[in-house]
């Protein structure tokens, strides 16, 4: 990456490129994945690497379009500008004309192929070229079952992202969220691009606050199926589930400790909404703090040094943090009279949360590493909720309201690149981004 | 005279409440369908994980429309971001407290609710605080704490839909439900 030339694209160039790419994608029904995306680019001077990803040879013989999936992944990351490739298609063994691709302003180029194997699987291959230097940067071959073709494409996007930015990609991770359709609530697990959604739980009662275990195998959440808020832990692969907090009153806001052995929860069993720590099987509840106020929405920092949480102990809801064993709390937010739903980046440097300004509830980010830093709004919507960091800390997923419905968006931390995840008719809420590995 | 009237009212209400908890689902009086309340009137009848919970299905959590409780007001409304039980709802507290003190076997859940602005979890805590304020008012008038459970649905079960101050005001509430 460091040896590759960056290009600081002007807004008009980005817009033009996006529009022409969109037009061609929408015209081609064979590329359904990318066609469902609406990537919004705002702001000037986003530093993006221009990359061309041609159609893979024989990809139209599958029910997926790996090249379109990779393009959409990389574009959504905000780190890349997608160069229009028209009808170009070649495979990993080709020797593309680098001068020609330089002329099309691409700094990197990807080609590949999909081949049906005798056992019914697909062999998906690709190669990544450095157009500026005219050299190969790597490639892979992977044999997968048909249902794993999307995942294979996401893994290629991860490879490209890491090769060119030096950071791990998050495209093969998973997200969880809740859909509401009429009076039906469904907890779903999907690919990070919102596709390939699978049902984890159907209920006639609300489900809120899903939280991934650190190993990505379990989801904790709050279900109202017992006519009150009860915290469950649910093994995604088997559907096995257990109530871990079902005390008198309400039980809510589960947050996994980084070791996966305990969770922070909000319990009202002793009066008020107070923070407790409880074992992953529901044993040994310990009170973390005692306040006459609401304490809730706990979230551990990745290094385990802090629990961030929302409290109105100062008269209005603000974000505080304390040691994981409890005790004295330190106020973190000072700007605004209503700050809720904290989530901290994996490196511990950035806090994202929702602030209320007038009647607008807006996602903001706060630089924790710079004393006195002011929160920066990164959306222009007014019903933002439930932000959650991607495991590489470069993207946030959140819920907001658009067109009278609740939708899920991803955004870069500067707010410049946003993508709306696909949805049909249901309201989508309570998104949470899973860890690496699946 | 007024006091006697209240006692009679409470006794009638208590009897109807007690009867309710033992009446099978299908012999309940029809529940009035209120516009915009579809997500709550279906409570308990939904399939999936809640199907084993039919014992709570008779409860109409939107409250005011169940004819069995027509003599017993069941909803207390709150101001924005407030959990103060206003004086105008003192009669609601009093009549339910009387029902509870008259029949010590009676149990109630007080369900706190909020409008739909802000996070699910902070609203859940606000609703919990409202429910606990109502429970405290009931116990101050003689109800036993073991008869009552304060729970919250936060913003998940709005009484009415809509993004207007009028709708929000109707959703900021605590409802008394027999258990």
- Residues of A within 8 A of B59 (CB-CB) are 227
Q: Test A361 with B128 for CB contact under 8 angstroms.
A: no
How far off is chain B from A223, nearest CA to CA, in Å?
Answer: 10
Is residue B17 over pLDDT 80? no
Q: How confident is the model at residue B2 (pLDDT cuts 50, 70, 90)?
A: very low
> A10: left (phi > 0), else alpha (psi -120 to 50), else beta?
beta
From the list A27, A23, A94, the residue with the least C-alpha distance to A54 is A94
pLDDT number for residue A97: 95
CA–CA separation, A112 vs A125, rounded Å?
Answer: 5
Q: pLDDT tens across B83-140, in order?
A: 999 999 999 999 999 999 999 999 999 999 999 888 999 999 999 999 999 999 999 9
pLDDT number for residue A422: 85
Closest residue of chain A to B81, computed from CA coordinates: A316
Is residue B14 over pLDDT 60? no
pLDDT number for residue B178: 85
Q: Test A297 with B156 for CB contact under 8 angstroms.
A: no
How far off is chain B from A182, nearest CA to CA, in Å?
Answer: 6
Q: How many Å separate Cα A172 from the centre of its chain? A: 11
pLDDT number for residue B179: 79
CA–CA separation, A124 vs A57, rounded Å?
Answer: 10
Q: What's the average model confidence in pLDDT over B57-69? A: 33
The three-point CA angle B147-B152-B155 to 5° equals: 155
Q: Test A385 with B48 for CB contact under 8 angstroms.
A: no
Low-confidence ranges of chain A (pLDDT < 70): 1-46
Q: pLDDT tens across A52-83, in order?
A: 999 999 999 998 999 999 999 999 999 999 99
Q: Test A340 with B122 for CB contact under 8 angstroms.
A: yes
Domain A174-433: which CATH number of 1.10.1740.10, 2.120.10.30, 2.60.15.10, 3.30.70.20: 2.120.10.30
Q: pLDDT tens across A279-315, in order?
A: 999 999 999 999 999 999 999 999 999 999 999 999 9
Q: Give a three-class secondary structure readout of chain B.
A: CHHHHHHHHHHHHHHHHHHHHHCCHHHCCCCCCCCCCHHHHCCCCCCECCHHHHHHCCCCCCCCCCHHHCCCCCEEECCCCCCCCCHHHHHHHHHHHHHHHHCCCCCEEEEEECCCCCCHHHHHHHHHHHHHHHHHHHHHCCCCHHHEEEEEEECCCCCCCCCCHHHHHHHCEEEEEEC
Q: For residue A364, what are its two tokens?
A: 């903001």
CATH number of A7-165: 3.40.50.10070
ipTM: 0.87
| CATH 3.40.50.300 is the classification of domain B2-24+47-178 | no
- Residues of B within 8 A of A204 (CB-CB) are 42-50
Is residue B31 over pLDDT 70? no
pLDDT number for residue B62: 29
pLDDT number for residue A336: 94
Percent of chain B's residues with pLDDT above 70? 60
Q: Is the dihedral of CA A360, B157, A340, A78 positive or negative?
A: negative
- Residues of A within 8 A of B150 (CB-CB) are 249-250, 268
What is the pTM (predicted TM-score) of this model?
A: 0.82
- Residues of B within 8 A of A229 (CB-CB) are 124, 151-154
Q: How many Å separate Cα A17 from the centre of its chain? A: 25
Per CATH, A7-165 and A174-433 having the same topology is answered: no
pLDDT number for residue A46: 61
Q: Test B124 with A225 for CB contact under 8 angstroms.
A: no
CA–CA separation, A130 vs A122, rounded Å?
Answer: 27
How far off is chain B from A27, nearest CA to CA, in Å?
Answer: 38
In this complex, which of B39, B118, B120 lies closest to A209 when CB atoms are compared?
B120
Domain boundaries, chain A: 7-165, 174-433
Q: pLDDT tens across B130-177, in order?
A: 999 999 999 999 999 999 999 999 999 999 988 889 999 999 999 999
How far off is chain B from A363, nearest CA to CA, in Å?
Answer: 11
Q: Test A208 with B46 for CB contact under 8 angstroms.
A: no
């Amino acid at each position: 990456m460091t040896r590759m030339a960056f290009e600081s694209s002007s807004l008009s160039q980005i817009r033009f490129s996006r529009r022409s790419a969109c037009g061609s994608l929408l015209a081609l029904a064979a590329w359904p994945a990318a066609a469902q995306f609406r990537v919004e680019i705002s702001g000037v001077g986003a530093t993006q690497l221009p990359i061309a990803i041609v159609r893979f040879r024989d990809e139209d013989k599958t029910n997926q379009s790996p090249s379109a999936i990779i393009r959409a992944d990389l574009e959504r990351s905000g780190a890349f500008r997608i160069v229009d490739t028209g009808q170009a298609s070649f495979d990993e063994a080709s020797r593309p004309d680098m001068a020609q691709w330089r002329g099309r302003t691409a700094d990197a180029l990807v080609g590949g192929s999909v081949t049906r194997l005798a056992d019914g699987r697909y062999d998906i291959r690709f190669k990544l070229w450095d157009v500026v230097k005219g050299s190969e940067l790597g490639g892979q071959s992977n044999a997968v079952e048909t249902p794993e073709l999307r995942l294979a494409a996401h893994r290629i996007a991860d490879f490209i992202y890491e090769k060119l930015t030096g950071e791990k990609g998050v495209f093969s991770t998973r997200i969880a969220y809740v859909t509401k359709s009429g009076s039906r609530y469904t907890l779903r697990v999907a690919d990070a691009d919102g596709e390939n959604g699978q049902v984890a739980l159907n209920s006639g009662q609300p489900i809120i606050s899903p939280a991934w275990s650190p190993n990505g195998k379990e989801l904790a959440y709050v279900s109202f199926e017992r006519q009150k808020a009860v915290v469950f832990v649910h093994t995604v692969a088997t559907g096995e589930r257990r109530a871990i907090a079902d005390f008198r009153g309400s039980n809510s806001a589960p947050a996994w400790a980084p070791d996966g052995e305990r969770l922070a929860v909000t319990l009202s069993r002793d009066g008020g909404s107070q923070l407790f720590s409880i074992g992953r099987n529901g044993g040994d509840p310990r009170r973390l703090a005692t306040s006459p106020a609401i304490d809730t929405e706990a979230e551990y920092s990745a290094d385990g040094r802090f629990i961030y949480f929302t409290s109105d102990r100062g008269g209005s809801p603000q974000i505080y943090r304390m040691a994981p064993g409890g005790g004295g709390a330190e106020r973190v937010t000072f700007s605004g009279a209503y700050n809720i739903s904290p989530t901290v980046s994996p490196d511990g440097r950035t806090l994202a949360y929702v602030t209320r300004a007038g009647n607008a509830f807006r996602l903001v980010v706060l630089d924790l590493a710079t004393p006195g830093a002011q929160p920066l709004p990164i959306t222009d919507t007014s019903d933002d909720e439930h932000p959650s960091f991607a495991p590489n800390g470069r993207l946030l997923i959140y819920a907001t309201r658009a067109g009278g419905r609740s939708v899920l968006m991803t955004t870069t931390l500067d707010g410049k690149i946003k993508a709306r995840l696909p949805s049909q008719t249901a309201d989508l809420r309570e998104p949470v981004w899973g860890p690496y590995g699946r | 005279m007024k006091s006697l009237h209240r006692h009679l009212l409470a006794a009638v209400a208590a009897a109807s409440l007690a009867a309710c908890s033992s009446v099978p689902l299908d012999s309940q009086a029809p529940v009035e369908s209120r516009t915009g309340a579809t997500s709550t009137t279906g409570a308990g009848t939904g399939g999936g994980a809640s199907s084993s919970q039919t014992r709570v299905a008779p409860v109409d959590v939107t409250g005011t429309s169940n004819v069995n409780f027509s003599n017993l007001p069941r909803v207390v409304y709150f101001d924005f971001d407030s959990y103060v039980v206003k004086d105008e709802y003192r009669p609601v507290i009093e009549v339910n407290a009387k029902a509870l003190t008259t029949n010590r076997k009676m149990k109630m859940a007080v369900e706190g609710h909020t409008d739909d602005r802000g996070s699910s979890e902070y609203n859940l805590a606000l609703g919990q605080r409202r429910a606990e304020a109502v429970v405290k008012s009931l116990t101050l008038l003689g109800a036993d704490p073991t008869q009552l459970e304060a729970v919250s649905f936060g913003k998940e079960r709005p009484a009415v839909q809509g993004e207007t101050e009028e709708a929000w005001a109707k959703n900021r509430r605590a409802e008394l439900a027999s258990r």
